Amino acid sequence: MFVNKHKDIIVNKYSVDDEEPRLVMDRAHNMEYLTTMRYIQKFLKPGAKILEIGAATGRYSIALAKMGYNVTAVDLTPKYVEIMKRKSRRLKNFQCMVADALDLSMFKDNSFDMVLNLGPMYHLFHQKDKKQAVKETLRVAKKGGICMFAYISNASMMVTYGLRHNKCYDLFTRCMDKEGRVADIPEEIFTSFYVEDFKKLFDKTNTKYITNVGVDGIGPVLREIIEALPKKDYKAFLDWHFLTCERPDQQGYSNHLLYICKKQ
């Protein structure tokens, strides 16, 4: 049985932080939600059975349940599971519970048509735990099922944390290796990846790679500019983002990336 040894650090953070408004608080944050939901819907089939791991307050899961899908949502933080329960009282096709992404033993093999791992990879600090989270996500997916993994880019740590909070020197000298990778330090809460490093987690797995998406693009970097755009310009920018978010040259500074694969 695998257990996240840093569970308390993560639960304590999210027991204090309010995740509920994050994806809708402004245009830049909403880009992440709109783009991710766009890809979820692209690969969903009628009657699909969905599991979301690390569902937080259910922004995606409850929306999908309201569309008529059979949805199960799990999160490590009890506070968020209680919020999901309150928000979903009238939904008979939705259930949620506390669970660790490293141990989904409450679910049988090959149970879900789509498995969304949209948070746990942000907070895993050991290679064996990262591989275990991938393994468990794939295990509970049906053959031919779609699995999506959200992760944070290394560049975004320097740009949105370093630049915006005057922490460049601290981050570069204390937390980065000679190739600019951010070290996995549990007390820093978040972990991040280069795209090629994240893809290596799927070596020797029974998956077929589909795509990698920069779901919020340059949005978090230019937050104030994007927020001030007239509606027609914001729509044009968003349409351009949707067209280009799979391009490698558009992904580097995206805060959040989405790896999509199919279980073979």
Note whether residue 85 is domain-resident.
Answer: yes
**Which of 213-222 are b and which e, b meaning 16 or more Cβ less than 10 Å from the residue's Cβ?**
bbbbbbbbbe
182-238 pLDDT, tens digit per residue, is 999 998 889 999 999 999 999 999 999 999 999 999 998 899 999 999 999 999 999
* Number of domains forming the structure of the chain: 1
* Residue 172, domain CATH: 3.40.50.150
- Work out the burial of residue 230: count CB atoms within 10 Å of its CB; fewer than 13 is exposed, 13-18 middle, 19 or more buried: exposed
Note whether residue 215 is domain-resident.
Answer: yes
The closest of 151, 159, 201 to 180, measured between CA atoms, is 159
Extract the tokens encoding 113: 């048509």
Q: How confident is the model at residue 22 (pLDDT cuts 50, 70, 90)?
A: confident
Q: How confident is the model at residue 24 (pLDDT cuts 50, 70, 90)?
A: confident
Whether the predicted pLDDT of 18 surpasses 80: no
pLDDT for position 160: 85
Q: How confident is the model at residue 5 (pLDDT cuts 50, 70, 90)?
A: confident
Note whether residue 113 is domain-resident.
Answer: yes
Note whether residue 103 is domain-resident.
Answer: yes
Give me Rg for the CA atoms of the chain: 18
pLDDT for position 2: 67
Note whether residue 1 is domain-resident.
Answer: no
Note whether residue 2 is domain-resident.
Answer: no
Note whether residue 105 is domain-resident.
Answer: yes
Q: Could you list the residue range(s) of the whole structural domain that residue 204 is in?
A: 7-263
Note whether residue 181 is domain-resident.
Answer: yes
Sign of CA dihedral 113, 213, 64, 237: negative
The model carries a pTM of: 0.95
35-77 pLDDT, tens digit per residue, is 999 999 999 999 999 999 999 999 999 999 999 999 999 999 9
Q: Degrees (nearest 5) of the Cα angle 118, 25, 241? A: 65
94-127 pLDDT, tens digit per residue, is 999 999 999 999 999 999 999 999 999 999 999 9
